[in-house]
Amino acid sequence: MFTTLVDTFTALVPRELETTAVENGLRTTVIQALRSCQGALQLGRNAFLVIVSAAEQQSYAFYPEEEQILSPSTCPKKRTEFAMGRAAIRHALRGLGTGPVPVLRGDRGEPIWPEGIMGSITHCWPWAVALVVRSGRSFAIGIDLENLEKAGMVDISSLICTGPELDWARGGYDFQERLAMIFSAKETVYKGFYRFCRRYIDFKDVELSWIPERQLFTVEILGGTRNEFRSVRGCEVHCRRFRGLVFSCLVHEPAKEVA
């Protein structure tokens, strides 16, 4: 049985045309990222992207098992964001032909997906986005959406940037925009590879290099973490800026270890 969420706080919600424009930007980025799979994953066949907005929050619901994840003191906005995220997941799973099931959280807050399903979710008010795939092969899937205006309120460069990344961020016309790109891309690396590494990947465990002609970051593992994070080798993070947002998407099949 679902619990229906009716929000009690006042907030700006996006118009339908605005959500459609954001969805188009997300879809373009995801399609580019899926090309790295050489046809193994195709949007609309065995990969589904869903965006939901706060404008439709009255129709969002979650299972009792999912509701138990939330603390009784969780604020209304956080409850709404959680319900939106679970609604996006359910719509995406339906596209894959998977019936509605509770999607719970693991120890690090990661979604626990049904058997044979891999995916990622991101929240950026007033949207929640889910990307899910079905495959017999194992993929790292990570997505992250950030609001540029919000990201620019605090300088977190010392926490997330290596030296070369900081040089790149300072070399552009918009330091905060590039900083948001670095943060978003590194978030996708953590989301995508936690299931392989089973440990926190620090912002400075990886170093990004921007390839402008391809609109993506290449990812390098630093220092003593290389052996621990073998699955990350060779991955790329597609990153796109549009309508005051930054969206990053990682789809990567780790190389199998040779005995």
Number of domains present in the structure of the chain: 2
Together in a domain, 53 and 169 = no
137, 160, 190 — which closes off a domain? 137
> Looking at the domain assignment, is residue 58 inside a domain?
yes
Together in a domain, 95 and 192 = no
pLDDT at 3: 40
Taking only the tens place, the pLDDT of each residue in 73-90 is 888 888 888 889 999 999
Residue 242: CB atoms within 10 A of its CB come to 15
**pLDDT exceeds 90 at position 239:** yes
CB-based contacts of 101, cutoff 8 Å, min separation 6 = 93, 114
- Average pLDDT of every residue of the chain: 86
For residues 114-120, average pLDDT = 94
Confidence band of 177 (pLDDT split at 50, 70, 90):
very high
pLDDT at 4: 39
Range of the domain at 62: 3-137
Q: What is the CATH number of the domain that holds 21?
A: 3.90.470
What is this structure's pTM? 0.89
Give the C-alpha separation, 171 to 177, whole Å. 12
